[in-house]
């Protein structure tokens, strides 16, 4: 699997604009990117923090009507990275993101004494300090700043 990441900028009005990275998704169309953002786990979904903030929620004395006026106004592919996957084989130098939102990426290095670069069955506790390391399966991950 080739690591590909699509970065899209979503805008509702001049007041509301944010950037969303969608790992392993460089081939998504703008319409698919918007559908992802509005989907169940997406940031524009009314059950998620950004969706509540931007659309309003009953807890904020507002009401959620629709996100139909959102549009993707630019799209570019950025330096690729993978989302961490259990029991997955990476290559030395691959960049990996935790499954939870994070402002850090982790580079893959061979773990001493292991023959393959395969992750363990469960996600590690990721270090948050740059250059911090964690072992997972046959891989040593080193923390780097995301962008």
**Domain locations along the chain:** 5-77, 82-145
- Residue-wise burial string across 85-96, b where 16 or more C-beta atoms lie within 10 A, e elsewhere: eeebebeeebbb
Give the pLDDT confidence score for residue 106 in this predicted structure. Answer: 93
The two tokens of residue 106 are 């982790």
Residue pair 82/115 in contact (Cβ under 8 Å)? The answer is no
Report the C-alpha gap between 60 and 89 in whole angstroms. 45
Average per-residue pLDDT in the chain? 76
* pLDDT score of 22 more than 70: yes
Residue pair 43/49 in contact (Cβ under 8 Å)? The answer is yes
Q: Which residue has the higher pLDDT, 147 or 15?
A: 147
The whole-number average pLDDT for the span 49-78 is: 54
Neighbours of 2 (CB within 10 A): 7
Report the C-alpha gap between 83 and 62 in whole angstroms. 35
- Residue 52 has φ and ψ, to the nearest 5°, of -65, -45
Out of 3-17, 70-84, 116-130, pick the least confident. 3-17
- pLDDT-based confidence at residue 17 (cuts at 50, 70, 90): low
Give the pLDDT confidence score for residue 15 in this predicted structure. Answer: 44
pLDDT in tens, 96-147: 989 887 788 999 998 888 888 999 999 999 999 999 999 999 999 999 977 5
């Amino acid at each position: 699997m080739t690591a590909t990441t699509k970065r899209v900028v979503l805008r509702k009005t001049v007041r509301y604009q944010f950037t969303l990275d969608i790992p392993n998704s460089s081939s998504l169309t703008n319409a698919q990117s918007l559908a992802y953002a509005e989907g169940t786990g997406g940031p524009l979904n009314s059950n998620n923090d950004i969706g509540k903030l931007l659309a309003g929620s009953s807890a904020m004395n507002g009401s959620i009507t629709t996100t139909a006026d959102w549009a993707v106004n630019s799209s570019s592919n950025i330096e690729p990275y993978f989302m961490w996957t259990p029991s997955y084989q990476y290559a030395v130098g691959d960049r990996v993101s935790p499954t939870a939102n994070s402002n850090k990426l982790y580079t893959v290095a061979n773990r001493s004494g292991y023959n393959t670069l395969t992750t363990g069955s469960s996600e590690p506790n990721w270090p948050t300090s740059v250059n911090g390391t964690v072992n997972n399966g046959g891989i040593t991950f080193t923390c780097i700043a995301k962008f």
